[in-house]
Structures are given as C-alpha cells and as structure tokens.
Amino acid sequence: MEAILTERIQNSLRHFMFKNAIFLCERLCAEFPSEVNLQLLAACYLQNNQAYSAYHILKGTKTAQSRYLFAISCFHMDLLSEAETALCHSNEPGGEIPNGAAGHYLLGLIYRYTDRKKSAIHHFRLALSIDPLLWAAYEELSILGAAEEATAVFGEAAALCIQKQYMHHGAASPNLHISSEDYNLVSSRNFASEDVYSRQFKHTQGNNYRDIPGNYHAAAVSSGAVAQPQNGGPSNTSFYNTPSPMASQLSTVAPPPLCRNVQPNGSNLNTGNTDGSPRSVVNTTIQAPRRKFVDEGKLRKISGRLFSDSGPRRSTRLAGDSGANTNANTTSVAGNGTNSSSKYLGSSKLSSVALRTVTLRKGQSRANENIEEGIRNEAFDDARSNMASTTSSSFPSGDVRSLDQDGATVLVGGVVISGSKVISGTSEVLGLLRTLGEGYRLSCLYRCQDALDTYLRLPHRHYSTSWVLSQIGKAHFELVDYLEADRAFCLARRVSPYSLEGMDVYSTVLYHLKEDMKLSYLAQELISTDRLAPQSWCAMGNCYSLQKDHETALKNFQRAVQLNSKFAYAHTLCGHEYVALEDFENGIKCYQNALRIDSRHYNAWYGLGMIYLRQEKFEFSEHHFGMAFQINPRSSVIMSYLGTALHALKKSEDAIKIMDRAILADRKNPLPMYQKANILMSLERFDDALEVLEELKEYAPRESSVYALMGKIYKRRNMHEKAMLHFGIALDLKPSATDVATIKAAIEKLHVPDELDDNL
C-alpha cells in the first residue's frame, strides 16, 4: 500500500495535480506515519505554493532533509531567522549544512537579505566549490560585486570536481552529499523526476522571484520530496486577488522550454548527451517570498530645472531623456565613442554601441529582484531504476576509476554514456559558462561595453536566447543607447514572449524613448501574461508616469513592491514618483529600502544624493554621490552631480577635475560641460567658460539653458549687446515657463551692476 500510494503521489505531481497529490499524501502519512512521508507531504504543499502548510508539518523535525525543506518554507514566509536556525542546527555548531551546495546557496541568500554580506559571499563560494555548475551562486556573487573571473571559477578545478562527482556516483547523477542510504531509497522507490516540471510551470505562471537551489535532489527523492518547493510566497497569493490568466491555460500541460539563463546544471546542459539519448530533465526553481506590505521606491527627478524638458526622472533626466528623445536635438546626441562590433540575430544585427550618458533609472530585474535563479540537479526517472543493477555492477562502491579509461561508463540522466563523453561534455559546459559568467560579471561591474564584447563570443544559438538578449538590452540601457536596447529587448520578446526577464528595464527604455503606444502595449501584454509579476506592474507604472500621472504610477509601483518586497527596482520607482510629487521624506525611505535589499544599487545612492542636493544638504549629497560613484565609476551623470556637490562645498578645483572626468567618460553628455561652465563662471574664468559653452552648443544646439548662461557671462563682462542676443535666442527656443520668467528678469536687469543684482 505504501509503495502504491507513493507512486501515485509522484504521478500526480508529474501531471501537476497537486490537490490530488496532497490528498493521497495525507492518506499515506495517516497510514504510515514517518518523517520520510512527512517530507513528501511538505514537498506536495510547497509544490502547491503552500509554504505555510509545509512549515507547520516540518516544525520540530530534526533530520537534515526535513531541516532543509523547513528552511525553504521559512524563506518563503520571510522568516529568515528560523530558516537560518534550521540550516545551522543549534546542536551541531559548525556542522554540515543540509544538501551541500543547495544548502549553502540558501544560507547565502539568508545572509544576504539580513545584511551579512561577507557571510553570504562565503556560502555562495562554498556552494560553487561543491557544485561548479550552480550558476545561481555565481550570479549572486556577481550582484554582490564579489565574483571572481569566470575563467577561474569555471576552469580546470571545476572540471575535475564535476568528473570526480560522476566517477564517485556512477549510478546517479552527480549530486552533492548523496548518502548511500539515500541512494538506495531512490533506487528502490523508483521516484521519477517529472514532478520537477511543476516548478517550471509555476515559474511560467509568474511568481517572479529569484530561485532557491534544488540540490536537495537525492535526499528529497529519498523522502518522496523529489520536486523542488515552489517559488511564490506562501498564502500571499490569494491575498492579492489578481490570479494570472496563464494558470488555467497551462495547468495540465508542460510549459515550453524557458529561454532565459543557460541552466548550468550538468544535466540541463546535456553534458553527456552526445549519443542522442533522451532525457527526463526539466529546470526547476524556488522563488523568494512576497511580502504583503508596501515599501516605497526611488528618485527619478534631477534637482534644478537645467535642460527643463528633461525633468530628470529615471536616469538623470537631463542625461536620460536627452539620450533618448529623438525629437529634441539636445537629447539625441550620441555617446563617448562607438564600437563597431555587433552580433547577428537571425538575419539582423545589433548595431554598434553608442555610449551616451549613463542612465540612473536602472532596474536589476534579475537581479535586483533580487533572489537569483537557483538550479536543481537532475532528478531520477524511471529509466534510471531500470539501469540500476547494471550500473551498480559497473561501479562498485569506492570505485575511483578514471572516466577516460577504456570502457568506463556512467549513468547520466538515465542513460549510460562513456566516460570520455562526460569529460568532453563537461569541457563544453564549462566553456559556455565561462563566456556567460564573464559577461554577466562585467555587466554587474558596469563595464557594459566589455560585457557586450564578451557576449559576442557566444555561439549564435545561445546568443539568440531571450536571457542573453535581455542582458544585452540591459547593457545598452546602461550605456544610454536606448534604440539598441529597444532592438535587443524586442528580439528577446520575439524569442520568448512569455519570459519576463528584463521587461521592467525594457519598459524604462520605452519611457525614455517616449514611446507611449509601445509602452502601453507592453504593459497590457505583461499584465495579461502574469498579473503577479512585479515587472508587469513596473511597466504599467512607467506607462502612467510617462503621462505625468504620478499618483497612479506610484500605486502601480507599490503593487510591484507588494508582490516582491525584495525587488529593489520597484522601491526605486516608488521613490522617483514620490520625488516627482515633492514628497522627499517618503522618497528617502524608498531609497533606503532599496539599499537594504541591494547595497550596490547605485541608483538609490544617486537618488538620495539628488534629494539632499535639492535640500541644500551638500555634505550628505557629496557622500551619497560618492557612494554611487564607487559602485559605478563610469557614469558621466554621477560624476557630474558629484562635481556639483563639491562645488557647493567650495571645493571648486576638485569639482572641475571630476567634471573633466565626466566629459571624458561621455563627451556628448551635455550635463558635465554645462556644470563645468557654471563652475568656471563662478570662479570668474569667463573666457574658459565661454569656450566650454561654445563646444556644448555643437552637441546641444537647441538647449535654451546654454544660451541663457552665455547671456549671463556676457552681462558679467559688460557686453550687453551679446548678452541681449543670447537671452533672446534662449527665449526663442521655448524654455519652460519658470525659465522664461528667469530669462526675462535677467533681461530687465541687463544694465544693473552685478554687485546690485545677486538674484540674476
């Protein structure tokens, strides 16, 4: 009876019949009460997005696997302290973390979200050392700015580690810390791997949290908990009352393969599948919890009215909109050099990168959502049990034969392949991860052009996947090459219209391009695809913000925060709207919330700096701009405002130096040149200031602020006719109403001596 019920439960999970699986598993636990069966019941609840049920079932259990599943339940419920206690058992100080790499990865996430960065880095590195194909751990290290070069992480040591795992576990896929007892249970029960499909299905349904690893594979299988716990928040889903329409459409069918990250598990990458044998492998994930309360977000608006139409919002709007708005000559200027390298996509190519001003309204959707995608090791399928006797005779316990030995075979994904194919497959997988990993690491360090060049080395079949295209779009977005970013994201949408990777950033790209129709269409598409995804509501909020409906935009961004309180970009966007509404106190709270989630989210540091600059708290402003500059030292915009803060603190020489660096970083960004001219004028270096402004006119020929400043300089030099000429040109360029009043006041006081006109 126990075996029959167990098999039927697994069959129900494979077919996404979670309610049936829970019912049968309750009968199983009633008839045969054991911790192993409780683990299976907890796994059923986790598959059904009921972490709270799994929490109560497993509370007080002591075995390693139960502790791991309990920790995942706690993580979903945002009970991070209990999750940590479960993984680091109080009775075993310094003891082994359950489930090896997966356990260390989960513990790293817990440390990250409790602001213990060093401990988080330590455990992510441990996870990678145990399982070199745990890509999610490398992503987390990259986000934390602590990733080593991919060539070192996915090098020879990683290859030897993977080969050793196959060599020692010839009868099973190379999982971590698989005990002989667990393996025997797996073989005897013949638990299949298809139930991991349910996790991928859940992801397609749209619980858009980043994922916790699934390396509890063998132990979970031994307890009947083959499938990885589910991704969304626990009971929160019903609280939101916005079910995804995708659920009913997909509830009984396996989803199409996701084209996001190259999944770095050996199984997923078909390490040894060169013989064309079938696999029963599906990538699965567990996602971070969603909170019910609303936090606020970030800053969008640049202080001051310089370059009025660019009411600095998402980037510095001077820089952002000016780089994007093709209708405004000021904004259409391209950046600091071009790169002729491009990558073909189908029959087209992404054209060269034009570096413009670095945008400051950047979301790290993958990231800064910000729990990265955990990858489950292969589960066992029926074919594996059929081959068990053959493998056990081929690979007796303790056998350490070399994989390249003649005749050596191993079981990979239920198929026996030669050891030489394992070696070659491992090499191919690691080679791919080296390129992907290095590109991602460089992106996280904001070396975006280097990242683009790295992605160009990928084979076309990988370059044209939605995950890579989204990363390329984000890199162009950081370089303020919005047209190229738009093209990359469009291609990503074409490849995987159901994928939400980077769509929050894409909506911001369309915002800067002022493509209101495309943005509205994108927002509606994302909402219809997944109403429970924060990216969908960020796109909707951007749509309203573009229409200057900041209150409605704020509500949409707050909805995104509700759905995933660890999505830093949603807090950022909330802060932008608060600043647009002149609510600086709540804006500050939003930026601080974003920094609690991701201390390297430089947009939040920048946003705080802008608020303090507007409040004339220049020391605070300098500090926050300095922090943003440390994280992203290539941003021309950040350097510009750091220089402005330094000038306000009477550090004019330092300010000029930083302005020169900003100009060199992006010669076609008008902001640092304008600010430098302002500083030079205040130092009464009028000729130098006019020289800078004359150069700036070449890049921004229709910017009224430039001519107004030139008029002020000519007035200071008592050249009233030239001053009047430039004031007139400034008025002809249709500045904002506020700037019109300022310029007219300057004209009226044209003949008033400077010492009597402090307000000019």
CA within 13 Å, CB half, 711 = 26
247 contacts 205 by C-beta, under 8 angstroms: yes
Angle, CA 579 vertex, CA 584 and CA 569 arms, to 5°: 110
Q: Tell me how many helices (H) and strands (E) the chain has.
A: 39, 8
Q: Are residues 111 and 9 in the same domain?
A: yes
Listed residues 642, 662, 694: the one ending a domain: 694
Structure tokens at 407: 């005749």
Q: Are residues 46 and 112 in the same domain?
A: yes
Q: Are residues 118 and 16 in the same domain?
A: yes
Which pLDDT score is estimated for 497? 92
Which pLDDT score is estimated for 418? 77
The residues that bridge with 128 in the sheet, in sequence order, are none
Q: Is residue 309 part of a domain?
A: no
Determine the Cα–Cα distance for residues 707 and 688; give it in Å rounded to an integer: 15
> Is this model's pTM higher than 0.85 or not?
no
Listed residues 545, 580, 595: the one ending a domain: 595
CATH number, domain with residue 541: 1.25.40.10
Domain of 661 in residue numbering reads as 600-694
Listed residues 595, 622, 656: the one ending a domain: 595
Q: Are residues 30 and 139 in the same domain?
A: yes
Please state at what angle helix 419-444 crosses helix 448-455, rounded to 10 degrees. 150
| pLDDT tens figures, 208-252 | 333 444 333 333 333 333 333 333 333 333 333 333 333 333 333
Q: Are residues 609 and 688 in the same domain?
A: yes
Q: Are residues 70 and 122 in the same domain?
A: yes
Which pLDDT score is estimated for 756? 56
Contacts of 661 (CB under 8 A, 6+ apart): 639
Q: Is residue 448 part of a domain?
A: no
Q: Are residues 573 and 688 in the same domain?
A: no
Structure tokens at 737: 């109403």
In sign, the C-alpha dihedral spanning 119, 122, 125, 130 is negative
Which pLDDT score is estimated for 411? 73
Q: Are residues 682 and 555 in the same domain?
A: no
Determine the Cα–Cα distance for residues 702 and 116; give it in Å rounded to an integer: 50
364 contacts 143 by C-beta, under 8 angstroms: yes
576 contacts 298 by C-beta, under 8 angstroms: yes
Determine the Cα–Cα distance for residues 123 and 172; give it in Å rounded to an integer: 25
Which pLDDT score is estimated for 231? 37
Q: In which residue ranges of the chain is pLDDT below 70?
A: 90-94, 168-407, 413-414, 753-760
Structure tokens at 568: 């830093």
CA within 13 Å, CB half, 298 = 33
Counted domains in the chain:
4
Q: Is residue 92 part of a domain?
A: yes
Contacts of 7 (CB under 8 A, 6+ apart): 190
Q: Are residues 589 and 723 in the same domain?
A: no
Which pLDDT score is estimated for 522? 95
| pLDDT tens figures, 313-325 | 454 333 334 344 4
Which pLDDT score is estimated for 409? 76
Picking from 494, 488, 493, 456, the residue whose alpha carbon sits closest to that of residue 472 is 488
Q: Are residues 678 and 754 in the same domain?
A: no
